[in-house]
Amino acid sequence: MPDLFDALVPPKSNGSGDSYSAKDIEVLEGLEPVRRRPGMYVGGTDERALHHLAAEALDNAMDEAVAGHATRIELELDAVGSVTVRDNGRGIPVDPHPRFPKKSALEIILTMLHSGGKFGGDAYKTSGGLHGVGISVVNALSDRLDVEVARDRKLWRQSYRRGVPQGRVEDCGRARRRICSAASRFAGAAIPRCRGPTAYRRKRGCIFRTGSAISSPRASPTGRC
């Protein structure tokens, strides 16, 4: 039997696609891989992918409830494609990260894949979603993401555009209540004919079993849900 490698190499053409060298190797950093190949992270770019993004944002709040740190979760769907998730859990840390002292832990979690408190340690015993990937993927694929966190009796806020921070974490003064809120407007299109409670029935059931309360998905007065 002839060896596969004994076959003659086809003659080279004069086309520009024949060259292949080190300069042809791309290195994607930060959230660029997500934006270039969203299907690898959320399964595509269709309606299901949009619901996947919403579910990833919801998973973070659910993890707080399952761990016993949150007693209420609010989920709001907007007619223009915005999803807002709020919970009264511990909130994402905003202090500088030990490895990256010039960035807050909040920014690290939102802009770096495989960062988070769910790989080990004592922060979470159980968790859902894409560990260390979920919320950063949501940020990468959102036209806009605004996050608010109440920590140490202060309200902190930061905004992103297509995964890029639009400034440092802002101290907005005294927090009136314990809250962690993430509002995302997904890139590409609004959520088409969103399915209301049906799309989140499985997740809501999980929350109810923990003894926490979660509000039914709702739309703004002009919504189509």
pLDDT tens-place string over residues 126-141: 544 444 468 899 999 9
The helix (H) or strand (E) run that includes residue 147 is strand 142-151
CATH of region 41-212: 3.30.565.10
Higher pLDDT, residue 200 or 225: 200
Contact present, 137 and 186 (Cβ < 8 Å): no
CA distance 64 to 21: 48
Q: Which residues lie closer than 8 Å to 138 by C-beta, 6 or more apart?
A: 53, 56, 57, 145, 182, 184
Please state, in angstroms and as integers, the Cα–Cα distance from residue 138 to each residue in 84, 177, 222, following that order: 12, 25, 24
Mean predicted lDDT score pLDDT of the chain: 75
Query: On the CB side of 78, how many CA atoms lie within 13 Å of its CA?
Result: 12
How is 41-65 classified by DSSP, letter by letter?
Answer: HHS-SSHHHHHHHHHHHHHHHHHHH
Q: Which residues lie closer than 8 Å to 58 by C-beta, 6 or more apart?
A: 73, 75, 85, 200, 203
Residue ranges of domains in the chain: 41-212
Question: What pLDDT is recorded for position 161?
Answer: 93
Exposed e or buried b per residue across 143-182, where buried means at least 16 C-beta atoms within 10 angstroms of its C-beta: ebbbbbbbbeeebbbbebeebebeeebeeeeebeebbbbb
Across 54-63, 99-108, 111-120, 202-211, the highest mean pLDDT is recorded for 99-108
pLDDT band at residue 3 under the 50/70/90 scheme: low
- The length of the chain is 225
Model confidence, pTM: 0.73
Contact present, 82 and 184 (Cβ < 8 Å): yes
Instruction: Kindly tell me if the per-residue pLDDT of 145 is higher than 50.
Output: yes
Query: On the CB side of 173, how many CA atoms lie within 13 Å of its CA?
Result: 1
The tokens for 205 are 């059931």
Instruction: Kindly tell me if the per-residue pLDDT of 97 is higher than 50.
Output: yes
Mean pLDDT of 113-128: 57
CA distance 213 to 41: 29
Mean pLDDT of 115-120: 58
CA distance 189 to 211: 35
Question: What pLDDT is recorded for position 206?
Answer: 43
